[in-house]
Structure 1
Amino acid sequence: MRGVIERLSDEGLGVLRAGRREMLIPHTVPGDTVEVLRWRRKKRKPIATEFKVLEPSPIRTEPKCPYFGRCGGCLLQHLPYKEQLKFKAEKLSRYLGMEVEVLPSPVIYGHRNRIDVVISTSGVGFRRYGTWWEAVDIEECPVFGETSGKVLKALREFIEEEKPSLYDIRRNEGFLRYIVIREGKFTGDVMINLVTKEGNLPESFPDYFPFASSIYWSVNRTESDVSYGDVQRFWGEEFIRERLDDVVYLIHPNSFFQTNSYQAVNLVKKVAELVDGERVLDLYSGVGTFGVYLAKRGFKVEGIEINPFAVEMARKNTELNGVSAEFHVRSDRDVENLSEYDTVVVDPPRAGLHPKLVRKILKDEPERLIYVSCNPKTLSNNLSQLREKYRVEYAVGLDMFPHTPHVEAVVGLRKFDI
């Protein structure tokens, strides 16, 4: 099968059409002429596993990362950044049924403040695209920046000298599984979290990372391929800090925090601009990213989050910044009296708002809703339900994830006047 890539799918894969049949081709751009040599089905869709670019598209650009095309991390480095923004704006506009601008990331390399690096018998790096068992060896990750090179160099020295066993995911054997690198882009703090299977970590491990502010050892006692575990021990600072505008946040290895600090500043500012009134409910409040920022601006904030550890961190962040805000452990299905709040901010996971919460919003009718979403599809589904009593006053996209097909959105809704 051969032909010209017509467009990109929502997942950032090139779409090749032959009659009524469509084939997905990774790492291609519209205008590429390609020939497919091998393919397989993934989620009932045919996807090329081996192909040739016979004639490159005029818009194709040279990727900055030497691992592009093998590493499964970035899918769009071969697409000029302005074309990435165009692709994301078109996708978001299609889902929302209105024209939506996507604001560019202030930094498009060195922007990520966290990467999860696989340590395995097949390599130290990221999963090879299309596989779950193989890793691509990397020396440095350009989307994280130079610190990744320092950490990985030190890790390899530790492995060479101490000779700990590396994990084999197929056999569930080996000791070292992941190293997670986090960096405060505005503070310079560096955190390293080594995730292992159960066993003994050589006492010398922290000596290899003198530049790190905080070093953790966590143990994953399951066979699940995840980059976190139970904290066994830490050296140095218990937390690192990141600053967004005038607010400082504490970050722990098991904390979720927006991965692009530079664009996260614009995200919290945008949410603050849309808040009306005095009383704010921050649903899915996490570590208080929005709630603490809004409290700093004088709003009376109450946060709801199902994860007890995240609530503990939100309370620490409240105290650190000298603001007044309340955070509670509660499910999104159990919120009450939404009408008491002037503005309700929701930032749900990719699955979107729970149906019970949507019904609660429509029943209680808070005046103002601000919906922050990382999934245009579930955002669209929720908005179609909320439009029963709400109108969209404002919508914008923010590119939190350069070189990937993902896009963040902020939507401001107001209750219909009756």
Structure 2
Amino acid sequence: MGKQIFETLRLEKIVGGGQALGAMNDGRKAFVWGGLPGELVKIRITKKKSHFVEGVVTEVLEKSPERIMPRDENSYLSTSPWQIMPLSSEQTYKANLIEEAFRLHGVMLPEKIDVFTDGVEFNYRNKVEFSWFGDKTDNGTRETLDLAFFKRGSKGKVVVEGTSLAHPNINKLAIEIRNLLRTKPVTARQLKTLLIRTDQQGNAVWQLYIKDRLADLISKEEATQLSAKGSEIIYSDPKSPASRVTERLNKFGGTTLTDTILGVTFNYACEGFFQVNIPVYEKALSDMRDWIDHENNLPTLDLYSGVGTIGLTIGGDDITLVEINEHAVAEMQRNITKLNRANAKAILAPSEKSLEYITGEQIVIVDPPRAGLHADVVRRLLETTPPRIIYLSCNPVTQARDVSLLQEKYEITHHQGYNFFPRTPHIEHLVVLDKK
């Protein structure tokens, strides 16, 4: 283990990644977790580059008046590093970051930026993935098994009993599973992750991803004693750090959940694509629906569509949905069949390989990953000029980049921010673009 390096510095502002920015004595920029603008802090450097460093606050020497005590004092940096500020400050910072992203790309937003929140700061997440940590007991005879999250800025872990962001039933079930596994001859090294998900009614399902093919790790009788409607034990290739399904070893009950979004019922798998904060997502969908031209009955194209929660709720009858993930498309197709949407078409393909569907005759909805729109999609939109583009983004920086290119033929009609993930730096932003 290398020697730890500490530095004392003054923090200046919050930047796009969510860290606070300061300057080292040698002039390098420092991107710091756990600090607020104006604070004098001592940091532990976690990454060194020629022009910048990254670090974590170890001591606050001069506190900001905004600083509050994080609810998850030991683990907040792993899950929700903005627990150190009130929600009102978080809302301001998020609005400022949206404005800065667009200003840096030369885009003037027509209205003052507003970020919607329903005021729910905690217990909103319907999905959590836990890691595992093991340590020897006092007598060294066996390992104590604990739930854990990875420490931000290191490969270490922090032991947890849950997270305040999660639905209470998730934390409750996680402890039950941990306690059950403590009675088993299994170590943390043999386990990968525990994924737990709930619907809006609090019904929970779980998947335990393991690195060894452990036969009968949990019996059917034991599984039915847990506060869950269904579960799976999954062997996941230990060579991959991600929790991917290599082989489904055991299944107890169903692991498919059902939720209603704007009156439309969706089924989704425990490991499937689905929103983690449905009430705020419904607000965003309601706002987007106002910009769908239902009167003229234009067809709608939904790119990067996931399981179809946007297109199948607000997209109208004639909707084409394009998604790259085969599992999401399978769920989408099942939802289309269940909803009896004969004119809805599900396309399994990358959006940039489905350019023929962008004809210029439809309203186009895009909800891309953090990387934003593929350059080929932007080019095709500019070639065909559909009358309206409705662009929901989880990364205002790449959204601003794309909008700056689309402004060649489009103008911003509407924009709105959404706080899908309170106590974290993540921001969602909606832009409606109309052809000039």
Match of 1:305 in 2: 323
Name stretches of at least 5 consecutive residues in structure 1 with no aligned partner: 168-173
Structure-2 change in CA distance of 1:274 and 1:153 (3 Å):
same
Aligned residues of 2:410 and 2:433 also touching (Cα < 8 A): yes
- Partner SS for 1:162: coil
Residue 380 (1) aligns with residue 397 (2): no
Distance 2:152 2:350 in 1: 36
Matches within 5 A, 1:272-287: 272-276=289-293, 277-278=296-297, 279-287=299-307
Q: Partners in 2 of 1:102 and 1:45 — Cα distance?
A: 31
Q: Are residues 44 and 205 of structure 1, via their aligned partners in 2, closer, same or farther at CA, if it must alter by over 3 Å?
A: farther
Contact 1:391 1:413 in 2 (8 A): yes
What does residue 106 of structure 2 align with?
Answer: none
User: Which of the residues 90, 95, 116 maps onto 1:103?
Assistant: 116
Match of residue 162, structure 2, among 120, 123, 140: 140
- In structure 2, relative to structure 1, the CA distance for the partners of 1:270 and 1:234 (3 Å cut) is farther
Q: How does 1:283-362 map to 2 (within 5 A)?
A: 283-295=303-315, 298-324=316-342, 325-333=344-352, 334-339=354-359, 341-362=361-382
1:75 aligns with one of 65, 77, 81? 81
CA distance in 2, matches of 1:54, 1:356: 50
Equivalent pair of 1:191/1:212 in contact (CA under 8 Å) = yes
Relative distance call for 1:40 and 1:360 in structure 2 (3 A) is closer
Matched with 1:126 is 149
For residue 259 of structure 1, report the CA deviation from its aligned partner: 1.6
| Alpha-carbon distance, 1:140 to partner | 2.0
RMSD value, Cα: 2.2
Are 2:75 and 2:149, in contact at CA under 8 Å, matched by a contact in 1?
no
Aligned counterpart for 1:255 among listed residues 263, 269, 272: 272
Answer yes or no: is 1:88 the counterpart of 2:94: yes
Match of 2:234 in 1: 218
- 1:17 partner amino acid: A
Distance 1:246 1:14 in 2: 41
CA distances 1:180-217 after superposition (whole Å, capped 9, x unpaired): 011112x3221101111131242426724532122122
CA gap of 1:92–1:68, structure 2 versus 1, over 3 A, is: same
How far off is 1:299 after superposition? Answer: 3.6
The reply on whether 1:116 has 2:129 as its aligned counterpart is: yes
Q: Report Cα offsets for 1:128-163 as digits up to 9, x if no partner.
A: 12123x221111211003213322221222222112
Cα distance in structure 2, aligned partners of 1:33 and 1:93: 26
> In 2, Cα distance between the equivalents of 1:237 and 1:34?
50
The residue that corresponds to 1:170 in the other structure is none
Matched, 1:188 2:208: no
- In structure 2, what is the Cα distance between the partners aligned to 1:328 and 1:43? 45
Please point out which of 27, 33, 45 is paired with 2:40: 33
In structure 2, the residue matched to 1:171 is none
User: Normalization by structure 1: what TM-score?
Assistant: 0.90
Find the aligned partners of 2:131 and 2:414 in 1 and give their Cα distance: 40
The whole-number CA distance in structure 1 between the counterparts of 2:86 and 2:167 is 20
Give runs of aligned pairs for residues 191-270 of structure 1, distance below 5 A: 191-200=205-214, 201-204=216-219, 207-208=222-223, 210-230=226-246, 231-270=248-287
* Unpaired stretches in structure 2, ≥5 consecutive residues: 1-6, 104-108, 136-145
> How far 1:376 sits from its partner (Å)?
1.3
Mean CA deviation greater in 41-50 or 222-231: 41-50
Separation (CA, whole Å) in 2 of partners of 1:43 and 1:360: 39
Structure 1 range deviating more: 195-204 or 381-390: 195-204
1:314 CA displacement: 0.7
Q: State the partner residue of 1:62.
A: 69
CA deviation after TM superposition for structure 1 residue 177, in Å: 1.0
Q: For 1:246-301, what per-residue CA distance to the aligned partner results, in whole angstroms no more than 9, with x for missing partners? A: 12211213311112122111122122122124210111111011111125xx4421
Identity %: 25
Cα deviation, 1:396-418, whole Å, max 9, x if unaligned, reads: 111111111110111100111xx
* Residue type at the aligned position of 1:335: L
Q: Which amino acid aligns with 2:347?
A: H
**Matching of residue 45 in structure 1 with residue 52 in structure 2:** yes
Contact (CA 8 Å) 2:415, 2:431: kept in 1 or not? yes
Distance verdict in 2 for CA 1:37–1:368, change over 3 Å: closer
Instruction: Select between 309-318 and 197-206 the one with higher mean Cα deviation.
Output: 197-206
- The aligned counterpart of 2:187 is 165
